[in-house]
Chain A
Amino acid sequence: QTVVTQEPSLTVSPGGTVTLTCASSTGAVTSGYYPNWFQQKPGQTPRALIYSTSNKHSWTPARFSGSLLGDKAALTLSGAQPEDEADYYCLLFHGDSWVFGGGTKLTVL
């Protein structure tokens, strides 16, 4: 059973920068895992932010960016805003199925 691991919680100051990471139990995350990132606020449907490592959707704020960092996928938020407080999930492709990470609760404080 593949496990995808994210930081359970992180805190960032308003205007600050924070990086969330996403690791796979199968080994180093590469572009072939097509990392996706999602934001979910309380009581809302998840919203897609990043696909295929670093590509943004038309609605993704410019302050979000995706990359590979060492052996993990990463989501960087530069210039955090209060409205960025949310849960963030990564999603990785493994063979013929997809696996979500457990999520990171991001606090802007």
Chain B
Amino acid sequence: QLQLQESGPGLVQPSETLSLTCTVSGGSISISNYYWAWIRQPPGKGLEWIGNVYFSGSAYYNPSLKSRVTISVDTSKNQFSLKLSSVTAADTAVYYCGRQPFGSFDYWGQGTLVTVSS
């Protein structure tokens, strides 16, 4: 059974960089036709696709966040990561990682709440 687990600081200072890692277990991240994604959900609001990455390192981003986001992959650790720079209170959200077979979206992590506050 594939499992994804997000990890990282739960509190980030305004203007700093938010960094999260998703660890994949029960399957390899280096598999063809599967992308690995980050999604977020502000408290009480809807879902927002942040971006995804292929095991080769090719990444695709939400145009509205593209200038601040970097998603990378570490196949040796079976992990992929999210960095979001210059954060503000508007970036406070539950951040989820997930698997995106092309055209689909199946497995999700449990999510981790990141609060931006001084």
Contacts and interface: CB of A to CB of B under 8 A. Distances in A.
Interface of A: 1, 34, 36, 38, 40, 45-48, 51-52, 55, 57, 89, 91, 93, 96-103
Contact of A34 (B37, B63, B104, B108): B104
Interface residues of B, number: 24
Interface of B: 37, 39, 46-49, 51-52, 60-64, 96, 100-101, 103-106, 108-111
A97 B105 contact: no
Contact of A38 (B52, B60, B103, B105): B105
Contact of B49 (A45, A47, A55, A100): A100
Contacts of B63: 1, 97
B104 A45 contact: no
Q: Lowest 9 A-B CB distances belong to which pairs?
A: A51-B104, A34-B103, A98-B49, A100-B47, A52-B103, A103-B46, A96-B60, A45-B108, A102-B46
B108 A46 contact: yes
A68 B6 CA distance: 34
A98 to B, nearest CB: 4
24 contacts: A34-B104, A45-B110, A46-B96, A47-B108, A48-B104, A48-B108, A51-B103, A51-B104, A51-B105, A52-B103, A52-B104, A57-B106, A91-B47, A97-B49, A97-B60, A97-B62, A97-B63, A98-B37, A98-B49, A100-B46, A100-B47, A101-B46, A103-B46, A103-B47
A91 B96 CA distance: 15
B64 A91 contact: no
Contacts of B62: 97
Contacts of A89: 46-47
Nearest to B48: A100
Contacts of B100: 98
B105 A36 contact: yes
Nearest to A47: B108
